Amino acid sequence: MTQEEAGPPPTTQTMADLLSEEYTYQRPQRGEIRTGTVMSVSPNEIVVDVGVKREGLVSSRDLERLSDEDLAAISVGDQVPVYVVKPEDQDGNLIVSLYLAEVELDWQKAAEYLENKEIFEGEVSGYNKGGLIVPFGKIRGFVPASQVAGFPRRLSHNEKIARLAQQVGREIIVRVIEVDRRRKRLIMSEQAAQSEWREHQRRKLMDSLVEGQVVHGVVSSLANFGAFVDLGGTDGLIHISELSWQRIKHPREVVQVGDEVDVYVLKLDREQGRIGLSLRRLQPDPWTLVDTKYAIGQRVEGTITNIVDFGAFAHLEDGIEGLIHLSELSDAEISHPSDVVARGDRYLLEVIKVEPERQRIGLSLKRVPPDEQMAWRAAQAPPPVAEPAPQPSAVEAMVEPAPTPEETSPVEDVTPEVASPEPEQPEADQTPPPASETDPDDLLAEASSTLEEATAETGDLQPETIAEEPVA
């Protein structure tokens, strides 16, 4: 047999090699995290090679602490971290844990979050009387109620518990503010994360936006110069001039806080972190139709909206204003437009220039003759309203005016007849005296007496009461 057929000579190790291996061998220590290779998987245990003389065993009790998703993700040949529970049990086995390895790594990760002041996005899984529970991997993080953003103070115990219960299930952004591995304390704060989160979202949003893009947002606040819109982590500004094509005095005339709006990204300043938005750019531009609606010499109605040294601006329709130059206000010489017009005045005007590409319309007041202006103004005036006839008072309604001598008629005697023992008088004697013999002053005195008797019967009533219930 040749040397080639016999194969290579067996490798031999010297005593120095064996001593070197023994010297470099590191005995597993309790609490140590090692990376191992999965050798076998069974329902009762997992065998892991951690690079020592013995293979590590993951017990069934440890497997029960893992979720079904975690177990399903483990396959033979996978590299997994393990936690050394016992370097050697009574049977000489190396006992390791997959669950405790994940917990220990989560504590290390939490410490890194604390050191780097990173933001953690989680979900509220529960609560207790002191605050919210937010899982951080396999660790239970705790957010005290005082660190929950917008959580009201001075609540009763029942009100506080009810408010905390409403938080379960919501997404929450927190920052790690305390890590105590020995006491198993992981404290988080939502309030501390607010500013960092908004800055993170601002940078993220700024990188994704481009000018000319249409985005959705919510009006977060109003100012005299415009409206701020929350785009999902940062605010953009709609200047008051970009809210509407027509002139407005305050943003509240167009939008309110809480309104959902689609806005046009007008300008981006990435260095300053500013976003300019527009609402009117998504609406039809009325100036595109000006050349079809207005012509030179046309009569139009306009309301004075602004007065400047060189003229006055008049509102014609939404988004369209024209200029009445100082020279077109009056034939007489004037020093300022306010000598002729005032803000809010409405006039009949003549169109003298139309430039839609420059968004300009020239108007004239003096070219409308005074008689035509007066006729137009008279046509605009509302019709007069007839005043109602005055109603008589309660006393006047009860007292009839004394008749004039021409209207005086014979007064009938309404006194009931009383039987008399005296002999019946001739019919001529029963005839009442002629009307000419009745004194009008006596009639007025009799009416006054009747009114006094009625007042005495009804008591001290006011005229309004008497008017509602007249005495028969």
- Residue 55 burial (C-beta neighbours within 10 Å; 0-12, 13-18, 19+): middle
CATH of domain 117-195: 2.40.50.140
Q: What is the pLDDT of residues 162-215, one digit of tens each?
A: 999 999 999 999 999 999 988 999 999 998 888 777 777 788 888 888 999 999
Q: Answer whether residue 447 shows pLDDT above 80.
A: no
Full-model pTM: 0.45
Distance CA 128, CA 168 (A): 11
Q: Answer whether residue 216 shows pLDDT above 60.
A: yes
Over residues 303-332, mean pLDDT: 90
Contact 201, 233 (CB under 8 A): yes
Residue-wise DSSP of 78-144: -EEEEEEEES--TTS-EEEEHHHHHHHHHHHHHHHHHHHT-EEEEE--EEETTEEEEEETTEEEEEE
Higher pLDDT, 244 or 464: 244
**What share of residues in the chain are helix, strand, coil (percent, to 5)?**
30, 30, 40
Q: Which pLDDT value is given to residue 260? A: 93
What are all long-range contacts of 358-361, with beta carbons under 8 Å and residues at least 24 apart?
359/287, 360/322, 360/323, 361/290, 361/294, 361/316, 361/320, 361/321, 361/322, 361/323
- The DSSP symbol for 2 reads -
Sign of torsion over alpha carbons 238, 240, 242, 243: positive
Tally Cβ neighbours within 10 Å of residue 112.
12
Q: Pairing mode, if any, of strands 131-136 and 126-128?
A: antiparallel
Over residues 228-247, mean pLDDT: 88
Q: What is the pLDDT of residues 350-401, one digit of tens each?
A: 999 998 888 889 999 999 999 998 998 888 877 766 666 666 655 555 555 5
Q: Answer whether residue 460 shows pLDDT above 50.
A: no
Q: Which pLDDT value is given to residue 56? A: 87
- The DSSP symbol for 280 reads G
| Token digits of residue 123 | 């979900």
Q: Which pLDDT value is given to residue 446? A: 59
| Token digits of residue 216 | 């959705």
Over residues 334-362, mean pLDDT: 91
Q: Which pLDDT value is given to residue 112? A: 93
Contact 100, 108 (CB under 8 A): no
Higher pLDDT, 15 or 244: 244
CATH class of 286-380: mainly beta
Distance CA 390, CA 447 (A): 24
In the chain, what percentage of residues exceed pLDDT 90? 35
Q: Which pLDDT value is given to residue 411? A: 47
- pLDDT band, residue 448 (cuts 50/70/90): low
Q: What is the pLDDT of residues 263-275, one digit of tens each?
A: 999 999 888 888 9
Over residues 70-81, mean pLDDT: 86
The pLDDT mean for the chain works out to: 79
- The DSSP symbol for 170 reads -
Q: Which pLDDT value is given to residue 255? A: 93
Domain 211-282 has CATH 2.40.50.140: yes
CATH of domain 26-103: 2.40.50.140
Distance CA 314, CA 324 (A): 7
Q: Answer whether residue 4 shows pLDDT above 70.
A: no
Instruction: Cite the residue boundaries of each domain of the chain with CATH code 2.40.50.140.
Output: 26-103, 117-195, 211-282, 286-380
Q: How far is CA 434 from CA 10, 14, 113, in A?
A: 170, 169, 121
- pLDDT band, residue 234 (cuts 50/70/90): confident
Distance CA 257, CA 161 (A): 30
Contact 341, 304 (CB under 8 A): yes
Those residues whose C-beta lies under 8 Å from the C-beta of residue 152, and which sit 6 or more positions away, are: 163
Contact 470, 455 (CB under 8 A): no
Contact 352, 363 (CB under 8 A): yes
Q: Pairing mode, if any, of strands 171-180 and 185-189?
A: antiparallel
**Which region among 304-313, 330-339, 410-419 has the lowest average model confidence (pLDDT)?**
410-419
Q: What is the pLDDT of residues 78-132, one digit of tens each?
A: 888 888 888 887 777 888 888 888 898 999 999 999 999 888 999 999 999 999 9
Read off φ and ψ for residue 94, nearest 5 degrees. Answer: -90, 115
Over residues 151-165, mean pLDDT: 90
Q: Which pLDDT value is given to residue 467? A: 41
